[in-house]
Chains A and B, each alone.
Chain A
Amino acid sequence: MAVASADIGPREDYITVAGCRTYVQRAGKGTPVLYLHGANGGGRWLPFMERLAADHEVIAPEHPGFGRSDTPDWFDNIHDVAYFYLDLIDALGLKGVHLVGSSLGGWVACEMAVRSTARLASLALIGSAGLHLKGVARPDTFMWTPEEAARGLFHDQALAEKMLAAAPSDDELERQMKNRFATARLAWAPRFYDPHLHKWLHRIDVPTVVFWGAQDQLVPAVYAERFGELIPKATVHYFDACGHLPQVEQPAAFAEALATFVRRAA
């Protein structure tokens, strides 16, 4: 989907936390940036990660249940994943973490942050799931064909065409299937939200930015406003002419915006 930078690239590693052997990409040195991927899975080293790795240690795991990581017995709901990542932060001895989460990963990040911000320096959400606004229509992504899924992600349909033209390997196909299974387990019902999360977002006391593609078809931009209202120190930053994944669709502008936010939050 996104093109990995050929310059340096991350180290690949497996670490075991809470009994879950977890695939992790890491690069750089400095205050840590932990990136939580969305429902389509991780394992892709994105341009903004490369950019941040110049000043930070960037850590990009694949969630329990996803991709190359184990599916542990305890993998039942989004709260399990949130506690797992709080454990992972402890296990790696990270402090002052800049937590970045996209879509499903944004939801996990919120669930972590309402539980504890003790190890967090800041929070960046990208088209985050986790909330529900009554009466705001959202597509049923579990009903989407692969083509609809590709088209629905992007404002620029050339990116969707490129994604559809790429023939995935057998391993990649199997990971995609695994990612869909894991997503269903976490997000089938209620559909991509936790009905109790909104009551506790006020507990998030670190600087927060809510990034959103103004043309996001999966989670309409009105959700950005709601996150902005519910999280005390949040600002909302829209990307124009952009769909659900600003980090992929507008990599340079996104990397710049995130780097600026992280620098100010430090």
Chain B
Amino acid sequence: MRFFFFHLMPYAPLDLDYDKTHKSAWVTLPNSYYDPKLGADLYNRYLDELEYADELGFEGISVNEHHQTAYGLMPAPNVFAGMLARRVKQAKICILGRALPVLSNPLTVAEEFAVLDNVTRGRIITGFVRGIGAEYHSMAVNPAESHARFHEAHDLIVQAWTRPGPFAYEGKYYHFPYVNIWPRPYQTPHPAIWVPSQGSRETIEFAAARERKYVYLQTATPAEMLFKYMRAYREAALRQDYEASADQLGWSVKIYVAETDEIARREAKPHVEAFVNKFLRMPVEMLLPPGYSSIESMKGVIAAKKTITGGARTIDQLLEQGTFICGSPATVRARLEEYQHKGGFNIVMAGLHFGTLPAELTRKNMEMFAREVMPHLKDRVPEGYRPIAAE
């Protein structure tokens, strides 16, 4: 099992009673709720936590992108990767990911990643996402163009990294007479590309395609759904006549470790419940703007009514669903072993900070996870494991 540390950088001092007057922590929550003095301390604390994960021996540390929300304070993740690039000595720096369709000029993504790749001498992992639905409200980008812009921006960036420039890129949404980025990326043929997703069939097929073999990172999902999506990726690979490696499959999950199950549950409870019930809170109109998902998936969501817009959830529900792992080191190890066995993934993207979790508990969680979980599982691979096959 390969371990990465993930930070979302939520605005933890948020007045959690905001929901008495506002529908969501996204898009329309007045930014008067943000206090720059508290925010300055928070940013520095969070960056320290990412650097600490490097010291603790995680294979990589990860940042991501969200806009105009208390849920995550990294609107420009490459700024954060840039701040980490010269201080983090061992760990890979993962930017998971850039929300390609909501950016007005995706060529700048190719440039920024190439710079980071050079400065770190090839220690970055890039990620491409569509952004969640709320981002289309925040950035005034048409959700009906989301898939098409994603694919086109992706093609542009990969070509900018791999084709000798200058060349012309002629797409439907993006036109460049001269694609000729300086610098070129350090890694050959280009930095690794990971695709975090909530499990859309189209995204799984895209990542699993034989010519791409991108790491698929399942986010925020009950365990049963995780197993289904991992299977879908392997089946998509088989349809293209290759067997997917467990190194192509990852799970992004929130984890809390403490001395005993009871202590872990008690310490994590208010903070993980704040995460799901306050930071993640949004109405369906915000989460799924028209065109963002296919009509079929929209119908599924409406029929199931099991969206993140549903009623308040408790830590026990999260544990039962397997959307959160919490307990003593032995419990957490057993859970991860079980999920790896059933899901066949080899990458764990551990969200060891969540919601309002304070600094001391975050450090304790990171230390216990790094010392009492990781070493026991690092050599453990799913049955029939094989590395990613070169073409």
Contact = CB atoms under 8 A, between A and B. Distances in A.
B68 to A, nearest CB: 14
Main DSSP-derived SS at the A contact region: helix
Contacts of B140: 188-189, 191
Interface residues of A, number: 16
Given A142-B285, A145-B283, A185 B291 contact: yes
Given A142-B137, A142-B285, A177 B299 contact: yes
Interface in A171-215: 174, 177-178, 180-181, 183-185, 188-189, 191
Given A142-B137, A188-B144, A181 B290 contact: yes
A144 interface: yes
A185 B292 CA distance: 10
A53 B143 CA distance: 39
B141 A189 contact: yes
Contacts of B158: none
B289 interface: yes
Interface string A123-146: 000000000000000001011110
Contacts of B137: 140, 142-143
Contacts of A181: 144, 290-291, 295
Contacts of A143: 28, 137, 283, 285-286
B295 A177 contact: yes
Contact of A184 (B28, B286, B289, B295): B289
B276 interface: no
B142 interface: yes
Interface in B269-307: 283, 285-286, 289-291, 295, 298-299
A174 B295 contact: yes
A185 B285 contact: no
Contact of A145 (B142, B285, B291): B285
Interface in A130-172: 140, 142-145
B177 to A, nearest CB: 23
Interface in B127-178: 136-137, 140-145
B290 A142 contact: yes
Contacts of B141: 188-189
Interface string A25-38: 00000000000000
Given A142-B290, A143-B137, A184 B143 contact: yes
Contacts of A144: 285
A174 B290 CA distance: 12
A177 B144 CA distance: 12
Interface string B18-58: 00000000001000000000000000000000000000000
- Pick from B141, B144, B286, B299 the residue with the most CB of A within 10 Å: B144
Nearest to A75: B144
A14 B136 CA distance: 35
Nearest to A187: B142
Q: Lowest 7 CB-CB distances: which A-B pairs, in order?
A: A185-B144, A180-B290, A184-B290, A188-B142, A189-B140, A181-B290, A184-B144
11 contacts: A140-B137, A142-B137, A142-B290, A145-B283, A177-B299, A181-B291, A184-B289, A185-B142, A185-B145, A188-B141, A189-B140
Interface of A: 140, 142-145, 174, 177-178, 180-181, 183-185, 188-189, 191
